[in-house]
Amino acid sequence: MNINFTQEQQRFRAEVRAWLADNVPAERLPSFDTAEGFELHREWEKKLAAGNWGNVNWPIEYGGRGLDLISWLIFEEEYYRADAPLRVSQNGIFLLAPTIMEFGSDEQKARFLPPMAAGDEIWAQAWSEPGAGSDMAAITSKAERDGDHYVITGQKTWSSRAVFADWCFGLFRTEAGSERHKGLSKILVPLDSHGLTRRPIAQLDGDPGFAELFFDEVRVPVANLLGPEHGGWGVAMATAGFERGLLLRSPARFQEAAARLVRLYQSHKHRLASGVGEQVVQAWMNAERFCAATYQLVARVQAGASISSESSANKLFWSEMDKHLHRTAMSIMGAQAELQEGLDAIDNGRWLDGYMFSLAGPIYAGTNEVQRNILAERVLGLPR
């Protein structure tokens, strides 16, 4: 076992730190779930891309630096340490991009990855449907072949950032009469397509963080099929693995939140009950454990292991940890906890925002109940 960073890795960390110190906006950007905030976050993505910092672990030809996942973790650590803006492109860069790299043709890689890296095309996910949430195999939206096009009809929902994004990656039924996880395909669709209507959904904080998408005979070139036709379930599962497993939530995010929680506790502890400190320690311990586990997972992935059902444990851990951490912060702030912004709002309501967002964690990327089923059946071997 070796837990020392190489000189090269240390030099890389210093370089990231220096660039972020010079470039991270002094003020936190408005939420990317607003029109103004979305465009400011897009500008930030462009700035990252211009410095070639957007995706350090991508191959050089697609706008990355060709670095390994340890370097990516280092980048993430510095990124959260600098309190840099959240990644408005996260669905694209963390979920779709690894899928394109694994399943996409050379043409698709060349067409989609560079503009994604540049912040010119921001992606949303279009998987869930009103009748297909946890039971994703119940998807009914169909994509019928018509020459060299698919004609898509149906409805998608809970599509994060789709109100302002440019493209979506969807899962549609391409094989007429197929059932369950058979006959589905993953298709990339421009969100400004003719026949596609977006209805914003206000999330808990009132902002339109996601949208319903209505497809009324939307025509998409067959070239936008990602992976095998009718084999979309396998492609989607690979994406879900990335989402739950590693890329979406790196430890740095939680370690920085835990550090802020310790400071919050310090400034309020004169009026707190004796058990609160232990909850703060617990939040810090959880973040450290998540960090240790992630470095170990990365070491295994770099040695050739693939992440499969065990990614469900990862998702359970970070989502429960995040909820506990923010719940603890809310309990510390007392009467100020309800203040969203402005007068008396601690950190301009950041903890409240974080708490509300943490409540979504056990739901998105596959509910925690589904993750527990996956672990019980596929890892522990309990009967279905």
Partner 1 sequence: MDFRYSQDQLDLIDAAANVLSGENTVERLRAFAADPTTICKSENSLWQQFAELGLFGFMAPESLGGLAQPLEVMVGVAESAGYVGLPEPLIEVAGISVPLLNELGFEDELTAVALGELSVGVISALQTYQSNAHFHDSFLVAGAGVDNLQSRSSLKLTPCNSIDPLRQLTRVELALKQNALADRANLHGAVLSAAQLLGLSRRMIDMSVEYAKERKQFGKPIGSFQAIKHHLANAYTQLEFARPMVQLAALQGGVAVHNAKIAAIDTATLIAETAIQVHGGMGYTYEVDLHLFMKRAWALSAEWGDRNYHMRKLEQYLFTDGATLGASQTFS
Task: Tell me whether residue 218 or residue 374 sits nearer to partner 1 (CB atom).
Answer: 374
Is the separation of the CB atoms in 357 and 363 below 8 Å? no
Stretch that binds partner 1, among 34-42, 123-131, 248-256, 323-331 (CB under 8 A): 248-256
CB of 250 to partner 1, least distance (A): 9
- Among the listed residues 76, 129, 243, 288, the single catalytic one is 243
CB of 320 to partner 1, least distance (A): 8
Task: Convert 338-367 into a string of H (helix), E (strand) and C (coil).
Answer: HCCCCCCCHHHHHHHHHHHHHHHCCCCCCC
Does 273 sit near partner 1 (CB under 8 A)? no
243 is catalytic: yes
- The helix/strand/coil state of 42 is helix
Residue 74 and residue 56: Cα distance in Å, rounded? 10
| Termini Cα distance of the chain | 38
Tell me, residue by residue from 56 to 85, as one string, x for binding to partner 1 by CB under 8 A and - for no binding: --------------x---x-xxx-xx----
Q: Is the dihedral of CA 40, 45, 49, 51 positive or negative?
A: positive
Task: Select the residue interacting with partner 1 from 151, 222, 281, 363 (CB under 8 A).
Answer: 281
Residues 6+ apart with CB under 8 A from 198: 162, 163, 191, 211, 212, 213, 214
Closest CA to 321 of 250, 239, 243, 271: 250
Does 255 sit near partner 1 (CB under 8 A)? yes
Task: Tell me whether residue 127 or residue 284 sits nearer to partner 1 (CB atom).
Answer: 284
Structure tokens that stand for 181 in this block: 């996880």
Residues that bind partner 1 (CB under 8 A): 1-6, 9, 13, 70, 74, 76-78, 80-81, 251-253, 255-256, 258-259, 262, 265-266, 269, 277-278, 280-281, 284-285, 288-293, 295-296, 298-300, 302-303, 310, 312-313, 316-317, 369, 371-373, 375-377, 379-384
Q: Which residues are catalytic?
A: 243
